[in-house]
Amino acid sequence: MEGQIWFLPRSLQLTGFQAYKLRVTHLYQLKQHSILVSVGEDEEGINPLVKVWNLEKRDGGNPLCTRIFPAIPGNKPTVVSCLTVHENLNFMAIGFADGSVVLTKGDITRDRHSKTQILHEGSYPITGLAFRQSGKTTHLFVVTTENIQSYTLSVKDYPHLELDTHGCGLRCSSLSDPSQDLQFIVAGNECVYLYQPDERGPCFAFEGQKLIVHWYRGYLIIVSRDRKTSPKSEFAGSEAQNSDKQVLNIYDLCNKFIAYSSIFDDIVDVLAEWGSLYVLTRDGKIHVLQEKDTQTKLEMLFRKNLFEMAINLAKSHHLDSDGLSEIFRQYGDHLYNKGNHDGAIQQYIRTIGKLEPSYVIRKFLDAQRIHNLTAYLQTLHLQSLANADHTTLLLNCYTKLKDSSKLEEFIKTSESEVRFDVETAIRVLRQAGYYSHAVYLAEKHAHHEWYLKIQLEDIKNYQEALAYIGKLPFDQAESNMKRYGKILMHHVPNETTELLKILCTDYRPSGDKEGPGMLEGKKANSEEFIPVFANNSRELKAFLEHMTEVQSDSPQGVYDTLLELQLQNWAHEQDEQIKEKLHNEAITLLKSGRFKTVFDKALVLCQMHNFKDGVLYLYEQGKLFQQIMHYHMQNEQYKKVIEVCELYGDQEACLWEQALGYFARKEEDCKEYIAAVLKHIESKNLMPPLLVVQTLAHNSTATLSVIKDYLVNKLQKQSRQIEQDEQRIQKYREETTRIRQEIEELKASPKIFQKTKCSICTSALELPSVHFLCGHSFHQHCFESYSESDSECPTCMPENRKVMDMIRAQEQKRDLHDQFQHQPGWRNGSSRAREAARGPPDCALCVPQLKCSTDGFSVVADYFGRGVFNKLTLITDPPYCITDALFAWLLLSAPLQLARIQTDSVVEMLRELYPDLHYEIVAMSTTGDKILDTALSKIGEKSLFTKELENALERNEVDLVVHSLKDLPTSLPPGFTIGAVCKRENPHDAVVFHPKSIGKTLSLLPEKSVIGTSSLRRAAQLKKKFPHLEFRDIRGNLNTRLKKLDEKEDFSAIILAAAGLKRMGWEDRIGQILSPEDCLYAVGQGALAVEVRAKDQEILNMVSALHDGETVLCCIAERAFMKHLEGGCSVPVAVNSVLKDGQLYLTGAVYSLDGSDSLKETMQTSVNQPHQNEDGPNDDVQHVGITAKTVPRQAQQAAESLGVELASLLLSKGAKHILSVARQLNDAR
């Protein structure tokens, strides 16, 4: 068995091969290569051989021996004492008992690529060798029994250094791992020394005779004798001659504790493999030592309260931060329980970032431990791990300790070092009364709101706060002045006013330096700061006057408020001189031209303060001449009344008539003024004499002498006119006689034309020529160039046309006195009426002219065109008999083409439902249709559009009346109802643009563009939405309005209902549909209504089929809203309704005339009610004038309630006041 090398795998199945013939003395297996180096003997004597084996390659089943060479230094046989090989296979060192060391450099596995030389020679046996690689530097440690040396192999000539003068025995040296910086370990009997290549390191006093030294995973393994006496041996430290007990100690040098200690019998060696230590004893046994896991080690230390050692152990084992933190926590808990609070807090500080701070804070909330808590919280902030609560607690600790120096040090850190929530710190300092510290923090970190709040509410340093605001950027200065302006104005009014002036004109922060690169200043909206001056009228006046002086384009609210303030001061001022000054200032402001767009508001202000001159000036600017005169009439200023008539009578002639009526009603003597009025009426021929006499008949003091001169002059003028007319008649008669004589002469004798010159060009007359019997002659080419008719003399034509016009006018006046006779129809079953009703239409009108005419329709049309008819008288049939032929008479406004189209659409729907009936459409005009020159809001009630129609319906002259639903009042007269509401067209408003503005929208129209609309509702909303536009009244039917738009330059656009334009077929004229966001529509707009007699069940049942359920519910809600508000055409009320998924949404709004004041709300209700059979006595229940049998009654009630509730909501918010003011202003216009 001698000379064999044995392999022991993990399965412990022993194998081997014959490496040497005699014996093996040394083995060295490389860790990173499958290379084994052995030293042994094949022959007797001292002739050791070195063999290098490649364990991965085989030669006959055995490892391949790649190299063999003798281990003899300088051919001098000696015993090998130790062996080491460098892991890079470039170095191998062999130590000998004679003190020499042989170094093989190069590839140790091959003979050709290596070089062997004697590196060291000495007199002491070599007991240990070790290579150390540090970067590119390679060192070789050589230890003998008496000294230790270090060779540098990476430098030429291999310089060496003696590290110590004592050595060790065989197998008592080793090289540590990087955890101990690859130090060379030498174990003597008294100490264990550690060496660097250039010096000796630390030493450890491990006594006892050392037999074996190894290094394993950071542990130093030492086998020593169990007794201190050392037996004689071949070398110091060799095996004992007797079999004594031996101690195996495993030391943890980093953590300075013994990890394992045990006694064995004759340890042969300690081997490290497969993560364990194997102890081979001479009795043939192998003992396995397995290292415990880190957690088990720590638990053992914890049980012994060795926390410092546990910490070091964890660090050496590279335990993660969470694991370390848990050790620190347990250590801190241990110290805390022992009462060592200072030590405990230091351990808890080491847990910051891992341990929840509240765990520590709860332990140290006691006042006696507040300094420990402060230290912990300080560290928490230094590591930027503190939240707002921690900051609060730390500052409270400082304040409780009254440690101002620490507090200042904490808050006065640089901007980049702030590790706390600044706002929290400010709040805590403020609560603790450290106002100066809080202000410092707020100013340093730009917490402007906190700075101002502390200065104003706590320190009450208003000057500093105001100066601070003046240094802020514009946006922040503006917002803070809005927030704190009132309190600053109360305490430092002058300085605050000055800052506001700057802020609203040309603001630059006071800290900015002026220069060429200075940015242009910003300015705030001065109107937004008016509330700041709530209790400082003097400063407010100064501010407003300053703004109007330096900024002519100041917001309108500035001028409005200034006017109100001036009027208020004027009204309460007692000193006459000051009052006169204030009077002049107010008049000057009114004349500045800044109140054109808010005329109504300025007028109300002047009226509220009884500012007479202002009211009169505004009346004049608004051309409200009648209001001016009425004002003077109320104050009985007779001369002023005459002056108003003289000034404005030419623009509004009715002023003189009103003045005459005013003086006529006065019981006192007004002869002088009546005479002046009559003189002007006479000169301008404003009133017929009879009306003058009737007017003055009401005055008991006005005698005949007052109007004597007027009547005499009037009669004299009429006499002179009669004389002139008689003379003209006589002249025409004579002329007529002469002409007739000439005609007779022409019949009997030829006419001789003796003209020699052309009557046009006055040149000599040449052929061809044209002659007229009047005596004028013309060249043919001149006649053809200038004549408008081949049969009329161009020279006489103007005079002839005048005469013909006079003749036609006389004929028309004569025809207007013709009387048409009609035969009234009889009711109560008269057969004559039935026959007349069923006969041809022209049989219903009986006049002599019709009897003589073969074309009666032409005669009627001729008279109709002359305006003789203002109403058609109709004959209707007796009470309805369903089995008989039924005639349905419908009415519409005669002048309106749209009304005819709407009526035709209703008739077509009825024809589809009842094709066997005969329908006749009758035209009728109403009072509202005739007043085409007055705005709708001035006409008055909507009944002006329906009264005549309802009268005809009441007299049974007609059976149905078709209306636009928006024209019907919300409360119908008794006996009438809306029997049908047809499906609604688009209810929104539309914009029709002038040809020059096509393609634009209202927002894109130029400044001051004029928009035409007769609706207060539209004007009020659009004035607010589009303040750059002007809105004026425009009246007339659709054709008239469009003609005014297209043919004149007065309007850039007009606003009309989209439904009307669509029904007229003019959809292509629509340039823009106004959305509900721009303009809500009128109540009922876009829907057609059929009005019938409420008790006429046959007609009511017939037209009920025309109801559209969705339209009915929307319109009921809208009309209920209008009715509860008591609105109408004279006030701006608007709506928008939508029915979706069984929910009815209603938006309602009221506006002032100029749109500046408004209320708008939206409500909803469920109308998804099942239709039930509801026949009974209440079938004909009306909801705001609508009878809808085909729509569920509960749904109608819900819709009506929705309108009432929405109106009530607006009334509770002030809608009544808005509407009342709007009515008053509208009446005054």
**Residues acting as catalytic residues:** 967
Q: How far apart are CA 1021 and CA 1153, in angstroms?
A: 9
Q: How far apart are CA 657 and CA 684, in angstroms?
A: 12
Q: Are 669 and 677 in contact (CB under 8 A)?
A: no
Query: Which two tokens mark 78?
Result: 């000696």
For residue 768, whether the previous peptide bond is cis, meaning omega lies within 30 degrees of 0, is yes
Residue type, 1223: R
933/936 Cα distance (integer angstroms): 9
Reference 1071, options 996, 1137, 1135; nearest CA is: 996
Measured between its terminal Cα atoms, the distance across the chain in Å is 137
Rg (CA), the chain: 61
Q: Pull the structure tokens for residue 251.
A: 């030391």
* DSSP helix/strand/coil, 839: coil
Q: Answer for the pair 703, 710: CB distance below 8 angstroms, yes or no.
A: no
* Interatomic CA distance for residues 1056 and 1065, integer angstroms: 14
Scanning 816-946, the segments in alpha helix (DSSP H) are 831-838, 848-852, 856-865, 897-913, 927-930, 936-939
CA atoms of 945 and 1090, how far apart (whole Å)? 14
Identify each DSSP E strand in 282-331 by its residue range.
Answer: 286-290
Number of CB atoms found within 10 A of residue 297's CB: 19
Residue 866 tokens read as 């002359």
Edge-to-edge strand ranges of the sheet holding 199-204? 173-175, 184-187, 192-196, 199-204
What SS3 state is found at 781? helix
Angle, vertex CA 841, rays to CA 835 and CA 846, nearest 5: 85
Residue 789 CB-density burial (10 A; 0-12 exposed, 13-18 middle, 19+ buried): exposed
Distance separating alpha carbons of residues 128 and 148, to the nearest angstrom: 9
Cα 525 from Cα 556, distance rounded (Å): 11
Angle at 976 between CA 971 and CA 979, to 5 degrees: 100
Q: How far apart (Å, rounded) are the C-alpha atoms in residues 2 and 10? A: 24
Tokens of 123: 């007199």
How many CA atoms, within 13 angstroms, populate the side-chain half-sphere of residue 393? 25
Helix (H, G, I), strand (E, B), or coil: what is residue 167? coil
For 983, phi then psi, to 5°, come to: -55, 135
Burial class (CB in 10 A: 0-12, 13-18, 19+), 101: buried
Say whether 1162 sits in a helix, a strand or coil: strand
Instruction: Compute the Cα dihedral for 846, 850, 854, 860 and give only its sign.
Output: negative
Distance CA 1115, CA 886 (A): 31
- Find the length of the chain: 1229
Residue 744, token pair as written in the block: 């007779």
In sequence order, the 6+-apart residues with CB closer than 8 A to the CB of 790 are: none
**Scanning the structure block, which residue is given the tokens 């202002």?**
614
8 A C-beta contact, residue 128 and residue 115: no
Backbone angles phi, psi at 117, to 5 degrees: -150, 160
My answer on whether omega of the bond before 895 falls inside 30° of 0, hence cis, is no
